[in-house]
Amino acid sequence: MTDRYAVIGNPIEQSKSPLIHTAFAQVTGQDIEYTKLLAPLGGFAAVVDTFRASGGRGMNVTAPFKLDAFAYATHLAPSAQMAGAVNAMKFEGDKVYAENFDGVGLVRDLVHNLNCPVQGRRVLILGAGGATRGALLPLLVEQPAELVIVNRTVAKAQELVELARIHQSGSVPVRGIGYTDLSDQSFDLVLNATSASLAAQLPPLWASVFAPGCLAYDLTYGKGLTPFLQLAKQADVTRLADGVGMLAEQAAEAFAWWRGVRPDTRNVIEQLTVPLI
């Protein structure tokens, strides 16, 4: 019997999840159907209830419903608790299990796909929103030399520093600062976790943050050479990446959680990659 899964969001037409999970099902021999669900604002729970009642087994969750999914879940994984948001759910009877695989997907893309170990590197994250919250613990597990969060509102960055202090078991130095404090600092890995690239804008950054041999990584995907990546390129950074690998890897984590088999992501990444030119 075909098992049903879906991605829920508003808007939802832009989602690549059906393409990705259908490809995963083909290469792993899993019998699933994967669709898109458009939920009205304020109507998340009703749409999920209907999907579950019709036999739905699980869901991916995209904007703007990751907080709704957090509230809807009955069993939150540590990843979801740390992020304060949910991007995958699994339904078993009256239980709703919830995960957030964004951070794990990011780290796997960095380490396995891009051959960029995080351990011992100086890491800078731009932005203190949900994407950074989701990435924080998986990045700290990799034991970077230091992790710096920069944000226009410094207090929000410092809130995440406190969150990291509570949750991390290691001793990675974590700092929260404003953009004006970056003038004399450089980093081995710079991650743009802001939404600036969606509007073709650039965070208030300057080229000196990119250390020699740096990897500049924009969590936004499919936008080509974003203003952030353009700045890195102009600073002679030769290692540029967008978030397409993160997208594929977090999807593979959800697929493995649902189906018990982890698909290879290479073909999906190649299919979705937009040249960074």
Which 3 state secondary structure label does DSSP give 40?
Answer: coil
In the residue annotation, 66 being an active-site residue is answered as yes
Do the beta carbons of residue 69 and residue 89 sit within 8 Å?
A: yes
Catalytic residue among 16, 36, 66, 233: 66
Do the beta carbons of residue 176 and residue 149 sit within 8 Å?
A: yes
CA dihedral 202, 207, 210, 214 (to 10 degrees): 80
Question: In whole angstroms, what is the distance from residue 26 CA to residue 69 CA?
Answer: 28
Give residue for tokens 């898109």. Answer: 36
Query: Around 165, how many Cα atoms within 13 Å sit in the side-chain half-sphere?
Result: 10
Helical (H) or strand (E) element with 9: strand 3-9
Which 3 state secondary structure label does DSSP give 179?
Answer: helix
Which 3 state secondary structure label does DSSP give 156?
Answer: helix
Between β-strands 146-150 and 239-242, what pairing exists: parallel, antiparallel or unpaired? unpaired
Active site residues: 66
